[in-house]
């Protein structure tokens, strides 16, 4: 059986950092085509990979190349458009997060994968970290008890990515840190909680650091900064999510805040134990013989999850595994994010389901 041929659409920072190494290492993958609207970037990657051609239009690539998979790492505004076109062309699709810009787009993606009978997976790398996998197993054994509430977030002091470029331009990104960072840890928290259905949200957003040029986070290097460019998205979002089983989740995501240190976290409160993931370091807290104890499990070295996520996608395409992520989970995610933005705009709670 021959190798799976993959076409790459979007070859910027996150592609170079997280996607390309995974595909290059996989023994069942042949990188057969590359596409980027920045011609020099597409040309340079094609030359590096020994490809005779490169593309600046994904539609031409889909029409001219015999491909099995499409990998998408474009600005958020084009995720749904490219994914749907690739699915309709009979390709499996792996897409960088977020799933889409709005509920309409993400539902169209979900419907397209059903019609095509092909796999659509969106990056959820934090599910594949060793700490996350251990905690998921711990929870499934009932050792946390009933998980009734939690907190999650990612806060930076000064870590605005690609300021003035597509990250900070709402028409291309869909929003700021809520849609950029929120997908990571809202997803991780909800997945650990057993994927309850969201029923309502309330949220607030702020833009207070659009004028600053200070940067103290490596993450500010992502994207292509543009001097005097657009900054019409939030730099901080907070919110509260209610689920159909009565559980709740507090959230906070910021690119820039006056805080002591950058960190990300998921905290879960259960009736038998609590769990804290701070910067992916797991701590478990429980009561034993009238004393509250905490413990730190010894876990394998964490590789970041990106490669493991892409390997899982290939296993699913090859029929070896059932998907850990399904498009309906992507629908719930974009529903949550869109509703938080709506709540922030209107100042009222937004209902998702009756």
pLDDT (tens digit per residue) in 51-60: 999 999 999 9
Q: Given a cut of 90, is residue 18 above it in pLDDT?
A: yes
Q: Are residues 154 and 229 in the same domain?
A: yes
Q: Are residues 193 and 226 in the same domain?
A: yes
Check residue 302 and give its pLDDT.
Answer: 80
Q: Are residues 149 and 283 in the same domain?
A: yes
Q: Given a cut of 70, is residue 263 above it in pLDDT?
A: yes
Q: What is the mean pLDDT of the segment spanning 106-129?
A: 98
β-bridge mates for residue 264, sequence order? 154
| pLDDT tens by residue, 265-288 | 999 999 999 999 999 999 999 988
Q: Given a cut of 90, is residue 44 above it in pLDDT?
A: yes
Check residue 141 and give its pLDDT.
Answer: 97
Q: Are residues 115 and 168 in the same domain?
A: no
Q: Given a cut of 70, is residue 186 above it in pLDDT?
A: yes
| pLDDT-derived band at 258, boundaries 50, 70, 90 | very high
Of 92, 122, 152, the residue that ends a domain is 122
Q: Are residues 55 and 200 in the same domain?
A: no
Q: Are residues 189 and 258 in the same domain?
A: yes
Asked if the structure places residue 328 within a domain, the reply is no
Q: What is the mean pLDDT of the segment spanning 29-40?
A: 97
| pLDDT tens by residue, 62-111 | 999 999 999 999 999 999 999 999 999 999 999 999 999 999 999 999 99
Q: Are residues 108 and 239 in the same domain?
A: no
When divided into structural domains, the chain yields a total of 2
Closest CA to 337 of 170, 90, 221: 170
Closest CA to 56 of 82, 71, 36: 36
Question: Whole-number mean pLDDT of the chain?
Answer: 95
* Beta carbons of 126 and 230 less than 8 angstroms apart: no
Share of the chain above pLDDT 90, in %: 89
Q: Are residues 86 and 167 in the same domain?
A: no
The token pair at 205 is 């957003």
Check residue 180 and give its pLDDT.
Answer: 97
Asked if the structure places residue 320 within a domain, the reply is no
Q: Which of residues 298 and 192 earns the better pLDDT score?
A: 192
Q: Given a cut of 70, is residue 1 above it in pLDDT?
A: no
Closest CA to 96 of 16, 152, 40, 193: 16
In whole angstroms, give the CA distance from residue 31 to residue 28: 10
Q: What is the mean pLDDT of the segment spanning 137-158?
A: 97
Check residue 146 and give its pLDDT.
Answer: 98
The CATH number of whichever domain residue 110 belongs to comes to: 3.40.50.720
Q: Given a cut of 70, is residue 354 above it in pLDDT?
A: no
In whole angstroms, give the CA distance from residue 330 to residue 249: 18
Asked if the structure places residue 282 within a domain, the reply is yes
Going by their DSSP bridges, the two strands 236-243 and 248-254 should be labelled as: antiparallel
Q: Which of residues 251 and 2 earns the better pLDDT score?
A: 251
**Buried (b) or exposed (e) across 173-192, using 16+ Cβ within 10 A?**
bbbbbbbbbbbbbbbbbbbb
The CATH number of whichever domain residue 245 belongs to comes to: 3.30.360.10
Check residue 217 and give its pLDDT.
Answer: 87
Asked if the structure places residue 325 within a domain, the reply is no
Check residue 198 and give its pLDDT.
Answer: 98
Q: Are residues 82 and 169 in the same domain?
A: no
Asked if the structure places residue 83 within a domain, the reply is yes
- Domain of residue 209 covers 136-302+333-351
């Amino acid at each position: 059986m021959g190798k799976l041929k993959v076409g790459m659409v979007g070859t910027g920072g996150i592609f170079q950092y997280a996607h390309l190494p995974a595909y290059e290492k996989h023994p069942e993958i042949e990188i057969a085509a590359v596409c980027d609207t920045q011609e020099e970037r597409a040309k340079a990657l094609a030359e590096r990979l020994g490809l005779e051609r490169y593309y600046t239009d994904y539609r031409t690539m889909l029409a001219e190349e015999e491909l099995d998979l499409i990998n998408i790492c474009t600005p958020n505004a084009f995720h749904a458009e490219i994914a749907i076109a690739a699915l309709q062309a009979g390709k499996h699709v792996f897409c960088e997060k977020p799933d889409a810009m709005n509920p309409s787009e993400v539902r169209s993606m979900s419907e397209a994968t059903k019609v095509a009978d092909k796999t659509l997976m969106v990056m959820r790398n934090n599910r594949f970290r060793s700490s996350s996998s251990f905690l998921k197993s711990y929870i499934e054994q009932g050792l946390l008890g009933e998980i009734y509430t939690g907190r999650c977030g990612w806060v930076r002091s000064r870590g605005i990515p690609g300021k003035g470029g597509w990250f900070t331009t709402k028409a291309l990104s869909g929003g700021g840190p809520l849609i950029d960072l929120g997908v990571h840890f809202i997803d991780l928290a909800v997945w650990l909680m057993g994927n309850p259905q969201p029923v309502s949200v309330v949220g607030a957003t702020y833009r207070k650091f659009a004028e600053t040029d200070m940067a103290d986070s490596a993450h500010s290097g992502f994207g292509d900064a543009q001097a005097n460019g657009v900054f019409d998205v939030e730099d901080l979002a907070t919110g509260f999510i209610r689920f159909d089983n009565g559980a709740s989740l507090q959230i906070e995501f910021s690119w820039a805040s006056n805080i002591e240190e950058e960190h990300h976290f998921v905290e879960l409160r259960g009736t038998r134990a609590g769990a804290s993931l701070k910067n992916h370091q797991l701590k478990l807290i429980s009561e034993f013989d009238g004393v509250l104890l905490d413990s730190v499990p010894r876990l394998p070295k964490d590789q970041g999850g990106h490669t493991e996520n892409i390997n899982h996608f290939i296993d699913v395409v090859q029929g070896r595994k059932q998907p850990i992520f399904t498009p309906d989970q992507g629908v719930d995610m974009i529903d949550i994010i869109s509703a938080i933005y709506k709540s922030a705009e209107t100042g009222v709670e937004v209902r998702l389901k009756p």
